[in-house]
Amino acid sequence: MAPAALPSGPIPSGNPGTLTTPEGLVLTVSASKESLDPVTALTNTPWSREYVVGGVFTGTVTGPGHSAVEGGVLEAGYQIGCGITQQDLHSISTAGITPGTGIPLVDGELIPVFSSATASEQLRIVLEPGRVNNVSVTRKEFEGDWARVSITGMRIRVDGCSGQSFIRSFATFTSSSDDNAAVVTYLGATRAV
Amino acid sequence: MLLRGLAGCLVLLATVASAPSGADPTEPPIPPAPAQPADPASAPAVPEAAPPPDTGVVASGPPGIAETADGRTLTAPAESETQLPVVPLTTALSTRGWMVGATFTGSTTDEVGGGTLEVGYQIGCGIEMNQIRLGGKTGASVNTSSISFPTQGAIDVRARPSTVTNAMVMKKDFKGTKTRVIVKDIHVRVDGCVGKSSLRSYAVLTSSTAHTEDIMAYYDVAMVF
């Protein structure tokens, strides 16, 4: 087997996601050092897609009173979209034989016995419209006003895809106080294969 | 039907092949023949050393190494990996099984401790069998000059495109800066696989602090069976 392709380097990250609460707290969730590299899938077939991914995802709370926030959750993961999903593949082989006999005197044949054979093959491919799979790598629960998740050399995959496939990272940052919560999401740049 | 027939043949062959080694270990050894007058010609032949049994030793992949944003280095190598194909519990050729073992370790530099080490196996199957339908019909047809008996059989093979199955063996929570998971003679399998199957181990090391989580994955070199 050929060795797995080495990560082909970082890709530009998307713009940070920001949210400003009425009290003036600013939630920022951003990413850096991202990589999304398509590699040969474990199954060695075109229907499975695999990517080696990595990145550093950071969520921070700034603004007045930021040190008083209780904490929250930073979830990081990947979304894989597939244009056409392949379901079943039917291969229907049919063979038949038709023995028969002519009615004597009517058809006038000398040997009134005959036989014929048939064979056919039919291929049926069942397709479905595309789907998006969410792969959550981690949900980091933290206390305080910042959190960071780093991912290195992780393989993310999708199976049964016969069209184009798309992948992008996401990070959802939640910050909670006693009575309120704020949620903001970062989406990375999309890579199509 | 055809598959079952083939599987039956294979099982038969396997039975024949394993018969000589199937001696009952509890059977008392055959007592040696009574001592004979010294005769070099009748000296029992020294049995040749049997070849060592296949242990399914496989090469491990390069260790996973990651630098964290706070300057620590995470490493997750694996060693002593074995992946031995075994005869599955069903007679179907579409069930694949392996006896696997490995030692996975994970470590982080510095004093920051705690996290998880998840280890397991990923099985890839090129073509997955869904169903085989056997159909047949027969009938009689009469027209003005002949009588015939059309008979038809159909085999409808319903396959699915390739899939990867994840078999997690365990997720170990650890508190220090080093962790290790040893697995031995774990049986992993996939059912309904008619294409080529491939197997690789994986380990995901997560190093956690109050605010950060650094996740790094290690994958073994995939073996195709």
Is B125 in Cβ contact with A44 (below 8 Å)?
Answer: no
A to B CB pairs, distance under 8 Å: 175
Chain segment A18-48, per-residue pLDDT in tens? 999 888 899 999 999 999 988 888 888 888 8
Q: Which residues 28-47 of chain B have a CB within 8 Å of chain A?
A: none
Contact present, B36 and B42 (Cβ < 8 Å): yes
Query: What does the pLDDT average to over B115-129?
Result: 89
d(CA B58, CA B63): 15
Q: How confident is the model at residue A1 (pLDDT cuts 50, 70, 90)?
A: very low
Chain A residues in contact with B212 by the CB 8 A cut-off are 140, 147-150
- Which chain B residues are within 8 Å of A37, Cβ to Cβ? none
In this structure, what CATH number is given to the domain that contains residue A162? 2.60.40.1650
Evaluate if residue B26 carries a pLDDT over 90.
no
**Is the confidence at residue B59, as pLDDT, over 70?**
yes
Q: Which residue of chain B has the CA closest to A91?
A: B157
Please compute the mean of the pLDDT values over residues B75-87 and round it to a whole number: 89
Is A120 inside a domain boundary? no
Report chain B residues whose CB lies below 8 A from the CB of A3: 221
Assigned domain for A45 exists: yes
* Residue A104 in domain: no
- Give the lowest-confidence range in B12-21, B24-33, B106-115: B12-21
Mean pLDDT score, A112-124: 84
pLDDT of residue B9: 37
- The Cα diameter of chain B in Å comes to 96
A121 at B interface, C-beta within 8 A: no
pLDDT band at A104 (very low <50, low <70, confident <90, very high): low
CB < 8 Å to B210, chain A: 142-144
pTM over 0.80: no
pLDDT at position A30: 95
B196 contacts in chain A (CB < 8 Å): 44
> A42 and chain B: CB distance < 8 Å anywhere?
yes
Has residue A126 got a pLDDT over 90?
Answer: no
Residue A89 with chain B: CB contacts under 8 Å: 127, 158-161
Domain range for residue A179? 17-83+131-192
Contact B163 A106 (CB under 8 A): no
Number of domains in chain A: 1
- Nearest-CA distance B87 → chain A (Å): 21
The span from the first CA to the last CA of chain A, in angstroms, equals 22
**Interface touch B163/A157, C-beta < 8 Å:** no
Does residue B14 register a pLDDT over 70? no
Residue A115 lies in a domain: no
Q: Quick check: B106 pLDDT over 50?
A: yes
Average pLDDT, chain B: 77
Q: What angle do CA A188, A136, A37 make, to 5 degrees?
A: 50
Complex confidence, ipTM? 0.75
Q: Is residue A4 assigned to a domain?
A: no
Contact B215 A143 (CB under 8 A): no
Query: Which comes out higher in pLDDT, residue A110 or A4?
Result: A110
For residue A106, tell me if it sits in a domain: no
**Domain-located, residue A94:** no
Domain contains A126: no
A103 to chain B, minimum CA–CA distance in Å? 5
In this predicted structure, what is the pLDDT of residue A83?
A: 82
Complete domains list, chain B, with CATH: 53-127+161-224 (2.60.40.1650)
pLDDT tens digits, residue range A40-79?
888 888 888 889 999 999 999 998 888 888 889 999 999 9
Coil, strand or helix: which one is A179?
coil
Confidence (pLDDT) at A105: 60
- Cβ atoms of A95 and A186 within 8 Å: the answer is no
At B165-184, the pLDDT tens digits run: 888 999 999 998 999 999 98
User: 3-state DSSP call for residue B32?
Assistant: coil
Bridge partners of B136? B153
* Per-residue model confidence (pLDDT) at position B202: 93
Predicted pLDDT of residue A142:
92
Mean pLDDT in chain A?
85
Q: How confident is the model at residue B92 (pLDDT cuts 50, 70, 90)?
A: confident
Give yes or no for a contact between B93 and B7, defined as CB atoms under 8 angstroms apart: yes
Nearest to A44 among B74, B126, B148 (CB): B126
Distance from CA of A21 to the nearest CA of B (A): 22
pLDDT-derived band at B133 (thresholds 50, 70, 90) equals confident
Compute the average pLDDT of residues B149-154: 88
